[in-house]
Amino acid sequence: MLYREYQPVTRLGNLIQCYWFLADHSNERQLSRILPDACVEVILRGQGTTRRRSNRGFVNQERAIAVGQLTEHLELESDGPHEIIGIRFKPHGLSAFTRLPMCDITDSELALDNLWAAFPFDRLWEAQSDCDRRFILDQFFCAQLLADDFDQLRHGQLLMAASLLTVEQVAKQINLSCRQLQRKFKKQIGLSPYQYRRICRLRVLASQLKQKAMPRLTDLAYQLGFSDQAHMNRDFKSYSGLSPLNFRHQQLWMGDVFLGEDPSITN
């Protein structure tokens, strides 16, 4: 598997985390467990078939989709070989390019032509290099950029992710009412402030669990602000579908790549 990440042009840096390109020439069927990461993604599939687990079993994904915020893990079944282009937005990022409330696509997918009728899907796959694809994406998103101010929301995100302040305390620090802050999170991120904090905290835990020199679980529980290890274990299983130790030892295919654990990753 070959996985590469690139940064967008500076003007888009506060909104788009990265563009990523994945190629896997294996013909094997792969199962992936994708964890919530507080980011919205656009997925463009040039080759291969992927199915998403739903109440009706596995359902085929369309070739060009926006994937909203996840509040629980996502299971995918893929038949290779694969070529995928991804645009990973910062938590509030997609709302800078569309008037669609982000809460409308939480835990769901939206065909991309419902967001942008003129998205350059064919041009991207006709491009001869990653550099050309980056230029096409930068050009498109700069043209779509809306004139919104996200400074308050970005400050609120940082406070919710990096502290144990209450929603009321965070709102006061950024000069919003509690209700205004909650509405902004729902509309522009797709999560409540507490959902956002929970995902950020559990994402850090997931990354720590995949490290070769993993800290003790009791230490992790203390460092991440859980009341005890048992509470951490329950919350993590609700988040990932696995206990912390089972998660550590299970191969997640694309899920491991996005956590940075695939040794074949190239930059």
Q: Is this model's pTM higher than 0.75 or not?
A: yes
260 found inside a domain: no
Q: pLDDT of 121-151, one tens digit each?
A: 999 999 999 999 999 999 999 999 997 778 8
208 and 81 within one domain: no
267 found inside a domain: no
141 and 204 within one domain: no
- Taking residues 212-230, report their average pLDDT: 91
Please give the Cα distance from 46 to 255 (Å, whole number). 20
Specify whether the CB–CB gap between 168 and 177 falls below 8 A. no
Omega of the bond leading into 101 within 30 degrees of 0 (cis):
no
Domain stops at, among 102, 130, 148: 148
Q: Read off the pLDDT band of 31 (50, 70, 90).
A: confident
Return the CATH number at 103.
2.60.120
Q: Which residue has the higher pLDDT, 29 or 102?
A: 102
Please give the Cα distance from 259 to 206 (Å, whole number). 8
237 and 119 within one domain: no
Tokens for 187, please give them. Answer: 């509309």
94 found inside a domain: yes
Residue recorded with tokens 């888009």: 12
- What domain count does the chain have? 2
220 and 177 within one domain: yes
Q: Read off the pLDDT band of 262 (50, 70, 90).
A: very low
Please give the Cα distance from 130 to 124 (Å, whole number). 9
142 and 14 within one domain: yes
Tokens for 4, please give them. Answer: 């590469």
Q: What is the pLDDT of residue 91?
A: 94
Mean pLDDT of the residues in the chain: 89
183 and 112 within one domain: no
User: Please, what is the angle between helix 193-209 and helix 229-240, to 10°?
Assistant: 100
225 and 197 within one domain: yes
- Taking residues 33-48, report their average pLDDT: 92
266 found inside a domain: no
Domain stops at, among 148, 168, 201: 148
Return the CATH number at 246.
1.10.10.60
What are the two backbone dihedrals, phi and then psi, of residue 232, each rounded to the nearest 5 degrees? -60, -45
Q: pLDDT of 240-257, one tens digit each?
A: 999 999 998 886 655 565
265 found inside a domain: no
262 found inside a domain: no
Among 24-33, 41-50, 102-111, 236-245, name the one with the lowest average pLDDT. Answer: 24-33
- Taking residues 212-228, report their average pLDDT: 90
Task: Supply the range of the domain harboring residue 181.
Answer: 151-255
Q: What is the pLDDT of residue 267?
A: 32
16 and 86 within one domain: yes
Domain stops at, among 129, 148, 167: 148
